[in-house]
Amino acid sequence: MAIPRSVKKNYHWWVFGVAFLTLLGAAGFRSTPAILIDPLKKEFGWGRGTIGTAVSINVLLYGFIGPFAAALQMKYGLRRITIWALSVISIGALLTTQISTTWHLYLLRGGVVGTGSGCLATVFASTVATRWFVKNRGLVIGGLTAAGASGQLIFLPVLSRLADHYGWRWVGVTIALSALAVIPFVALLLRNYPSDVGLLPYGAEHDYVLPETSDRPIRAAFSAFTAAKRSGVFWMLWGSFFVCGLSTNGLIQTHFLAAAGDHSVSATDAASYLALIGVFDVVGTIGSGWLTDRIDPAKLLMVYYSFRGLSLLFLDPVLGTRGMGLIGFMVFYGLDWVATVPPTVAICVERFGVKRGPLVYGWVFAGHQTGAAVAAWGAGALRDTTGSYRSSFIIAGACCGLATFGVSRLRRSEPVMDPAR
């Protein structure tokens, strides 16, 4: 189908818009763990640890699918893999409404949806930004990351009200429809490379050479890991992103509503607080992308992890106040929610090259989701044992301190590994 000249002129930003909409539409299911813990516990009698196990399976697959998704996108194309992923999410969300046993929960909530959503993790944002943009790449990654992360939090109040008034199964139906609604836009507008429509990446020079694609996606994913694992930079990023996932998706996104309930805050009010985090996350993540284009990304990571750690250490004392202290946490923490993504992607591309960078970031993102899985299960188990989430907040804050020390050892002057690959 021929693209109108007026659209082609700004086609890079049309692709950005479709990718933004895709991540926003797929974000709904990522917000459901916090909403479903109490309804599933009431209907089936499952403990927080049992439900947390399903969440852990989901977030692990969400992370470890990443590097293979990036490789599959190289071989089969962004558009085809994206449509497939949205379809899997929709089917999985619908089937989840029919669960009756824990293995249904683990298979559907953990396995099926984890696989589909893993193809639309921040690895998707990294691939779009790396292929379509040279100039403003950090800003684009920030915007797409904000779409995914903030969409999860903005969905929360809506889905929480649905669960309260119509039952938790309507949450799955709504998510399925939102994922399906995005597919026509992807089919019509998303392209694999700028060269598919006769363009160069945004801001690229005329002598820009498109990185070669691999016809063996699984081999390409493992090859990128084999090359990266010899670098201390990779393990520093993997460890810091482990802490990132532990302190965001695994802890706050999964358990905040339950923790707020321990302080007599209603689920609807707690969901609104999380939505406020989502609003400030948009500002923080886009701002982080803008800064990543201008400032050493390692220095940005030091600032982000240190402020996040301090925020978590003060969360438990202010959680039941419902005053300015809690609002201050939402603003402060929201600005830092996934601000770590643009500088982490930038370091991956800078150190491992334009071709391997997204694949390496996929493996780094697996560390993020490993940390999220540990927190999703561990915080629930600690709550069942101690009757409080306080120790989980303190542990997460301390881990952020370790991450700050780790990223402080990164130096921008280190050479790029295999820059042509």
Backbone angles phi, psi at 26, to 5 degrees: -85, -10
Nearest-angstrom CA–CA distance, 349 and 134: 11
Instruction: Please tell me the predicted confidence (pLDDT) of residue 413.
Output: 44
- Domain annotation covers residue 180: yes
Task: Supply the pTM of this predicted model.
Answer: 0.75
Nearest-angstrom CA–CA distance, 54 and 33: 9
- Domain annotation covers residue 421: no
Positions in the chain short of pLDDT 50: 413, 415, 419-421
Distance of alpha carbon 64 from the chain centroid: 12
- Domain annotation covers residue 182: yes
- Domain encompassing residue 355: 11-196+220-407
Note the pLDDT tens digit of each residue in 301-321: 999 999 999 999 989 888 877
- Please tell me whether residue 199 adopts helix, strand or coil conformation: coil
- Domain annotation covers residue 350: yes
- As given in the structure block, the two tokens for residue 103 are 């293995």
The three-state (H, E, C) secondary structure of 113-158, written as one string: HHHHHHCCCHHHHHHHHHHHECCCHHHHHHHHHHHHHHHHHHHHHH
- Domain annotation covers residue 207: no
DSSP string, 270-316: HHHHHHHHHHHHHHHHHHHHHHHTTS-HHHHHHHHHHHHHHHHHTHH
The number of folded domains in the chain is 1
Q: What value, to the nearest 5°, has the Cα angle with vertex 55 and ends 186 and 19?
A: 15
Nearest-angstrom CA–CA distance, 234 and 264: 43
Nearest-angstrom CA–CA distance, 109 and 172: 10
- Domain annotation covers residue 160: yes
DSSP state of 30: G
CATH number, domain of 170, equals 1.20.1250.20
Note the pLDDT tens digit of each residue in 148-171: 766 766 777 788 788 888 888 888
- Domain annotation covers residue 418: no
- Domain annotation covers residue 224: yes
- Please tell me whether residue 202 adopts helix, strand or coil conformation: strand
